[in-house]
Structure 1
C-alpha cells in the first residue's frame, strides 16, 4: 500500500523553527505543513495590511522559509501553509523572492485567495453567533474570512505547486489536500475524507501530539522538551496513519499524547464539521506499535453540510493593566491594601470601565478566593489590576494608578508595569459554500 509522510512544522504563529528544519532535513518527508492561524490572527493581520498593503502575512514567514526552503527543495518536500493570513499574494511574492535569494528559482509558489468575504457579509442579511446582525458591527468590523476546504489546495498540488500559501483554511485541510492529491480520493468518499481529516487534526498542533502541552512531572513524564521533535504522519492509501517523530528528537509519541490531541477542540467527536466532510471520530482506535510509533484508524465521515463558518474579527474595546509586586513578611496584607487603594482611586478619578478585575497573583488569581483561602499565606504576591474600557485614553489611566503605588501605596512595592491596548475580538457566522470561490495564483498576478 502506498504511504506518504507528512510533517507538522508549526502549530501556531510563534512556534519554534528548529523542529521544522529537523523535519525538512531528516524527516524523509513528502510534505511539510505550517499551521499558523488562530481565530483572531487574520483580524490582526488585516490591521497590519491596512497600514502597509505589502504586509498582513505571518511575521515569521520569512524566517521559516529561509530556514526550510533549501532542505525541502533538496529532499523533494512540498510545503503547505496558512501563513498568508490576510495577504496570501504578498506572502507568495515574499516566498518567491526568498527562493531567488537562495538560488532556487525553479520553486513554483501558489497563493490561494477567496476566503476574504468581508464585502459579502456586510452587504447581506447575516446574523452572527450572538443573534445580532453582522452589519451592527459597522466600522468596528476588521475582517471576515470563510474557512476554505482542501479542494483548492489539492488543485494547486495537481498544477505542480512546490509551495502553497493560503489565508483561512481549516487546519486539517493542510494535511487532507496532499492525501486527496496523492491517493486520488474522490471528494465524496466520505469515509476516507473523514479519516484524512483525523490525520490533519492530529498533526495540526505540531508538538502537542509528540509530548508538548502534555508533561506533568511524576504523572506524565516527557524527556527533553527543550528539543521537542515535531510529529510525522505516515499515511496509507486507506487513510490509516502512524504518528511518529524524528529518531533521537525530544518528546514522545504515545497513545496518551495522541488521545489528548484527538480530543483537542472537539465539540462532538461524532460530528466534526468541516467544509469537506462531517467527520466521525467516535470509533477511532490507537495501538502503540513501538516507542514513538502509534497506529491510528477508525474515523469515518458523512456528507458535508454545504455551509462555511466565517470568522468575524472586530475592534471590541480596550484593556488597561497595571501590576506591582510585594514580597516578604506581610506581603499579602500589603498587596490587599494596594488593591483597596487602586479601587478607591479609580472611583475618585472617575475612570470609566466596562469591566474591572483585581488579582493577587500567588494568592487567588487562578482558583479564586474560595479555593485559595485554605492555603498558607504566600511569601510573595503580585497585584494585577485589569480593566476593559471604551477608549484607549481610559485604559491608560488604570495602569497609571497602579504605578503611583510606588510613592503613594504600601511599603516595599516593586517591579511595576503598565500597558494599554485595543482588544480585537471574534464572532462567527455561516454562509452558503456556493457563495465562496477560491482562486489559485501562480506568479505575481
Structure 2
C-alpha cells in the first residue's frame, strides 16, 4: 500500500531549525511542514505589515528556507507552511529571492490568500464567541481578522506542482492533511479519512511535543538528550493509519505516553474536534508501541464540517507598563514587598489610572501562589505590571519602579522597565460562503 512520509519542521514560530534539517536529510520525507502561527501571532504580524507593506511574515522564514531548501531540492521534499502569516505574498517573494540566490531556477512557489477577512467582519459585525462583549465594542480598535482556512487551496497548489506552499491562517492540522488529501485523492466529504487526517495533523502540529518537548519533568517523566531533541514524522497510508517515529539517534522520546499527552493537548471535546474541513472524532484512536520511538496509530473518524469558519480578530487593548527590581540577601523578600507597597501607594498618589495591577515577588508568588517551604528566600525580584488606557500612564508605572531603586528599601539593583501596546485576540464565526481562498504562483 502506498504511504506518504510527512515531517514536522516546527511547532511554533521561534522553534529550532536544525531538527528540521535533520528530518529533511535523514527522514526519507515526501513533505516537510512548518507550523508557525499562534492566536495572537498573526495579529502582531498584521500590525507589522501596517508599518511596512513588505513585512508581516515569519521572522525566521529566511533562515529556515536557506537551511532546508538545499536538502529538500536534492531529496525532492515538498514544503508546506503557514509562515506567510499576515503577508503570504511577501513571504513567497522572499522565498523566490532565496531560491534565485541558491541557484534553484524554476523553484515553483504557491501562496494562498483569502484568510484576511477584516472587511467581511466589519460588514457583518458577527457576535464574538469569546472576547470583550460584541464586535461593535472593539470595531474601532480592530487591526486584523483572519479566518481558519482548510485544505482545499493547499491541495490545489500541490496539484499544480508547487515545490513550496505558503499560507496565512489555516487550521493547523490542515497543513498536514492537505498533502494526504492530495496524494490519496480524499474527497472533501470523506469524513472518516479527513477525521483521521485531522488526528494525524493534530499530533504533528506542535512538533517536538510529540517527542518529549513540553513533557519532561525530572524524576517523574525523564526524557533523554533534550538538547538534541528530534522532531517527529509520520508514515501515513491511504486509509489514515499512521506510524510515528523520529530520526534514528536524535534525542527525545516518542512513546505511548508522549502521544497520549499530545492527543489531549488543547482539545475540549475529543468527540467533536472542530476543524475547517471536518468535525474530527478522536475517541476511537488507538496507539501501539511497535518499537523504540515507533508508535502506530489506528482509528479516529469524523462527521460533516460546519457551515461556518472560526475567525481570530486582533485588536488594540490598551497598554501595559512594567517594572522590575532585584533584592538579595537576608530580608530580601521583606524588602521586595516594601518596594511593592511603596510603588502601589505612589501610583495612587499620582492618580495613575490602572485597570488591572499585579504586584509580584518573582521567585516567591509570581506564578505559583500555593503553600511553600518556610525557608527564607535570599534572592528575589519585585515586579509591578499594570494595564492602562494611555502610554503615559503605562510608562509611569515603570518609572516608579525604577525610582524605588534609591527611594525605597536598601540593596535594590538591576531595575528595568518597559511600556508596550497590547494586542489582544477575540474570536467569531463567519459563514464559509463569505470566504473565498485563492492560489497564486511565483517562480525563482
TM bracket (short chain): over 0.9
Give the match for residue 402 of structure 2: 403
Contact 1:6 / 1:30 at 8 angstroms: preserved in 2? yes
Give the match for residue 275 of structure 1: 276
Contact 1:140 / 1:315 at 8 angstroms: preserved in 2? yes
Secondary structure of residue in 1 paired with 2:128: coil
The whole-number CA distance in structure 2 between the counterparts of 1:267 and 1:20 is: 30
Alignment of 1:74 with 2:90, yes or no, is: no
Q: Give CA deviations for 1:11-50 in whole Å, capped at 9, x if unaligned.
A: 1110001111111111110000000000011111111111
Matches within 5 A, 1:416-431: 416-431=415-430
Secondary structure of residue in 2 paired with 1:404: helix
Matches within 5 A, 1:305-384: 305-368=306-369, 371-372=370-371, 375-384=374-383
Matches within 5 A, 1:189-204: 189-204=190-205
Q: Give CA deviations for 1:381-436 in whole Å, capped at 9, x if unaligned.
A: 11110100001111011111111121111111111111111110000110111111
Give the match for residue 169 of structure 1: 170
Instruction: Give the C-alpha shift of residue 133 in structure 1.
Output: 3.5
Secondary structure of residue in 2 paired with 1:316: strand
The whole-number CA distance in structure 2 between the counterparts of 1:137 and 1:405 is: 37
The whole-number CA distance in structure 1 between the counterparts of 2:120 and 2:363 is: 48
Q: Give CA deviations for 1:116-175 in whole Å, capped at 9, x if unaligned.
A: 110011011411125843233233101001000011101110110110000000000000
The whole-number CA distance in structure 2 between the counterparts of 1:137 and 1:272 is: 28
Instruction: Give the C-alpha shift of residue 327 in structure 1.
Output: 1.0
Q: Give CA deviations for 1:212-254 in whole Å, capped at 9, x if unaligned.
A: 0111111111111111100011111110111110110111100
The whole-number CA distance in structure 2 between the counterparts of 1:349 and 1:88 is: 46
The whole-number CA distance in structure 2 between the counterparts of 1:333 and 1:225 is: 38
Contact 1:331 / 1:378 at 8 angstroms: preserved in 2? yes
Give the match for residue 289 of structure 1: 290
Instruction: Give the C-alpha shift of residue 84 in structure 1.
Output: 0.4
Give the match for residue 53 of structure 1: 53
Contact 1:83 / 1:166 at 8 angstroms: preserved in 2? yes
Q: Give CA deviations for 1:272-298 in whole Å, capped at 9, x if unaligned.
A: 001100000012111111110011121
**Cα 1:93/1:220, change in 2 over 3 Å:** same
| RMSD (CA atoms) | 1.1
The whole-number CA distance in structure 2 between the counterparts of 1:259 and 1:138 is: 41
Secondary structure of residue in 2 paired with 1:441: strand
The whole-number CA distance in structure 2 between the counterparts of 1:357 and 1:413 is: 19
The whole-number CA distance in structure 2 between the counterparts of 1:104 and 1:272 is: 40
Is there any run of 5+ residues in structure 2 with no aligned partner, and where? Answer: none
Alignment of 1:63 with 2:84, yes or no, is: no
Secondary structure of residue in 2 paired with 1:314: strand
Contact 1:364 / 1:372 at 8 angstroms: preserved in 2? no
The whole-number CA distance in structure 2 between the counterparts of 1:375 and 1:282 is: 45
The whole-number CA distance in structure 2 between the counterparts of 1:247 and 1:375 is: 47
Secondary structure of residue in 2 paired with 1:396: helix
TM-score for the superposition, normalised by structure 2: 0.98
Q: Give CA deviations for 1:327-365 in whole Å, capped at 9, x if unaligned.
A: 111111111111111111111111110110101112111
Instruction: Give the C-alpha shift of residue 443 in structure 1.
Output: 2.2
Give the match for residue 157 of structure 2: 156
Contact 1:275 / 1:306 at 8 angstroms: preserved in 2? no
The whole-number CA distance in structure 1 between the counterparts of 2:327 and 2:61 is: 41
TM-score for the superposition, normalised by structure 1: 0.98
Matches within 5 A, 1:376-395: 376-395=375-394
Secondary structure of residue in 2 paired with 1:53: coil
Give the match for residue 27 of structure 1: 27
